[in-house]
Chains A and B, each alone.
Chain A
């Protein structure tokens, strides 16, 4: 038995999915949090039920990537029941999708979610009348009320035992263009205008039903949160407040890393000397002992003292921006700036998620529905935007060589604008920016914590093991004397980029693992100028391996090859230009 949760963006599908299955889907306060289908199980009176949580869609008739995913699930997923999650405070908008779902062959249960919010909005919904008008079961729901779970389970159970048959839909479909999202055998899909006509008709009907069932019963409570929302949503001082918050987030990041580094180093130093002594006792003297005894303590120091604090604080900041509903407000505030680099406001969300980790950000780029613009966003994410782990390692290398962070930041900004403008010229497109702005909310502590845990968990499962392996590889490279054999690169490297041959090796290592490449620099005697050029070349090159895998999944190998080509060209051009521009 399988049920599928379908609803418009930001109606609380993932929260209900987590509530039913005890899963840990990421729940946020912006449209487009879930971009993939999640699967979970829950036990309904002894029966194992599979639950699918789908990304938010406005209509099944849309031809975007997300709607296609939901259609494919309905077509192939052996679905027995659709649970339509409706935001009780936005009936008029949400019911259009409900009406569309009711035209399908599966039984539908409407869950009126966030019913607890109605009172503060001065609204009341007549649930019985709504069920009568829609001719389907309607359940009032709030995840804060445990009685709701029983009501929902009871209705799911009764619907699953008396479901409609798919056959009757197939017969009906021949005369009804409305149900033609699937490539069923009896018709060839609906005409474009028939679809539009149906959408308008559904919207009219949704409006009429909403007027008949929802009523204003009191005044909208204007608490401090509403006042703050009005303030932030106004162009002035809203944009200034958002800029100030962004600046504070940046300062918090730097201060936190700075404050954490000292105490963490004090704790780690004795542990590291113990590990070194332990390895020297365990392994007989020789090159292997030397490599491991040096590389393992080195490989623990940087991730724990710099990368860990950076990843932790970026997870906290991003989770806070998402749960409060501030993130989509940044996309409005920076929509104009985005258009300067060839992306619409929608692209600001995946681009800012990239500061956390690029891999999920590439998936989040699905919220940008135009293919060309999506390619630009993924390219900028891959080449320019530094993830939390990269930021951490960059910070350590910058401080080790007294490099001016300003030069690196300016170089990155210039590359971001130049690359955006060039791609925009090469891939001209119609800019469509339309985005739903959720109400501001106070974040739920448990949700915030579980999200930070999921994001930060990547440090132990992905970043730490990789840095350790890389650290051993770098040490092996140094101890083996292989680096000295790379003198052949010395001449070219010095002439073109003004950096030693070994530093160019670090740049080339980015092909394997971008955020680890700077580690090799730490072992070289570089001048600030050489370090600046090498760091800039590494920061603006290729995406890391996990991101590459995700890019292939999202836009194919051809797309990745184009991005890698552009990354290498960008890195070379940055090195050449900085070598010319920076004073010797």
Chain B
């Protein structure tokens, strides 16, 4: 399963990147690494780019790159609010 199969609003964990050295290098440097949790924010029509979120960072990527990013879907992570008094 690749990033292309992820619907808007769904979350996933990256498992691998099957692409040439240059593209892999850029994705890894931007934090798109195996183990990262991503959320699909938007899919632009007419084979346009995809918008994903990793943490608070939003990234747009072309579909040919997205098809090289292998993922496994993950359940939506509910954000647990930490009580300030207890620290982190």
Interface, chain A (partner B; CB < 8 A): 58-59, 61-63, 89-93, 96, 121-124, 126, 129, 192, 195-196, 199-200, 203-204, 206-207, 210, 212-219, 233-235, 238-239, 328, 331-333, 335-336, 344-345, 369-370, 430-439
Contacts and interface: CB of A to CB of B under 8 A. Distances in A.
A344 B26 CA distance: 15
Contact of B61 (A61, A62, A196, A433): A433
A513 B46 CA distance: 41
Contacts of B34: 200
Given A216-B81, A432-B22, A437-B51, A126 B88 contact: yes
Given A58-B30, A204-B33, A217-B81, A233 B54 contact: no
Chain A CB within 10 Å, residue with most, of B27, B42, B59, B62: B62
A129 B88 CA distance: 10
Contacts of A122: 81
Given A96-B31, A216-B82, A217-B84, A63 B25 contact: yes
Given A89-B56, A434-B27, 17 more contacts: A58-B31, A121-B56, A199-B25, A199-B29, A203-B28, A204-B33, A235-B44, A335-B48, A335-B62, A336-B48, A432-B22, A433-B65, A434-B26, A434-B32, A435-B59, A435-B61, A436-B30
Contacts of A439: 58
Given A215-B82, A336-B48, A93 B55 contact: yes
Contact of A435 (B24, B36, B60, B82): B60
Interface residues of B, number: 45
Interface of B: 20-36, 41-49, 51, 54-62, 64-65, 79-82, 84, 87-88
B72 to A, nearest CB: 17
B31 A212 contact: no
A434 B59 contact: yes
B58 A437 contact: yes
Contact of A213 (B24, B55, B62, B88): B88
A91 B87 CA distance: 18
A85 to B, nearest CB: 15
A93 B62 contact: no
B54 to A, nearest CB: 7
A203 B33 contact: yes
A93 B31 CA distance: 5
B52 to A, nearest CB: 10
Given A216-B81, A437-B51, A199 B33 contact: yes
A331 B59 CA distance: 12
Contacts of B46: 336
